[in-house]
Amino acid sequence: MVLRKLKHHEQKLLKKVDFLDWKSDKGHREADIMRRYHVQKREDYHKYNKLCGSIRQLAYKLAQLPPTDPVRIKHERELLAKLQALAILPPGAPISSLENHVSVSALCRRRIGVVMCRLRMAENLTAAVKLVEQGHVRVGPEVITDPAYLVTRSREDYLTWVDSSKIKRTIMSYRNELDDFDLL
C-alpha cells in the first residue's frame, strides 16, 4: 500500500497533534496502574481515585481545625486507625503522611490477587486473578470470587485455599498431610 504525500496544510495540521500523549489518557498513569495491578474494570480505578480524593479532602478539612480541638483529635485518630488497619499507612504514621501514602496504587496493593502474589500463593498476578475468579480462594469462611476484594491487614492471615480446591489437595499431598477421609 502506497500512501500519497501529504499536502502543505495537512502537514501543518499534523504538527499540532501529538499522537502519543492524549489529554484523556492523563499521562498514561491510569493505564499503567491498571496494567500493573491487573485492574480489569476502569470503574474500579475511578472508585479508588475518588476514595483517595475523599480521604485527602477529609484530612485537609481536619487540618483546618485548631490542633487542640477534641473533634479533630478524635477523627484524626479514627482515620489513621482505619488506614493502618487496611495497611495503606504504616503503623504509627502521622496524619501528615496521608498526602504521600494514600494513592490508587496503595489501594491496589491490597487487592486479593496482589496479596496472594506477595504471600507466594500464586506465581504471578494474572494467575492469582484467575484462581480467585474460579473460586479457589477464601478469606476466613467466605469464598471470594471478586478480584477487586480488598484484604485488610487482620484478614490477611485468614487468606487460604478452599477445602474442595485441587490446589489444596496437591499441596497437602506434596507435604504428606493428605488424609483419605478428606477425599470423601
Phi, psi of 171 (to 5 degrees): -65, -45
Mean pLDDT of 106-123: 94
Domain ranges for the chain, please list them: 28-107, 111-183
Model-level pTM?
Answer: 0.77
Mean pLDDT (the chain) is 88
pLDDT reported for residue 97 = 86
9-18, 63-72, 99-108, 138-147: which range is least confident on average?
A: 9-18
The strand pairing partners of 94, in sequence order, are: none
149-153, 164-168, 178-182: which range is least confident on average?
A: 178-182
Mean pLDDT of 58-79: 93
- Does residue 147 have a pLDDT over 90? yes
pLDDT reported for residue 76 = 93
Fold for domain 111-183? 3.10.290
**Ordered strands of the 142-144 beta sheet:** 142-144, 137-139, 159-161
Determine the Cα–Cα distance for residues 119 and 75; give it in Å rounded to an integer: 33
- Does residue 58 have a pLDDT over 90? yes
| Grid coordinates of 40 | 480489569
- Does residue 183 have a pLDDT over 80? no
- Does residue 180 have a pLDDT over 80? no
pLDDT reported for residue 127 = 95
- Does residue 152 have a pLDDT over 80? yes
Determine the Cα–Cα distance for residues 44 and 104; give it in Å rounded to an integer: 10
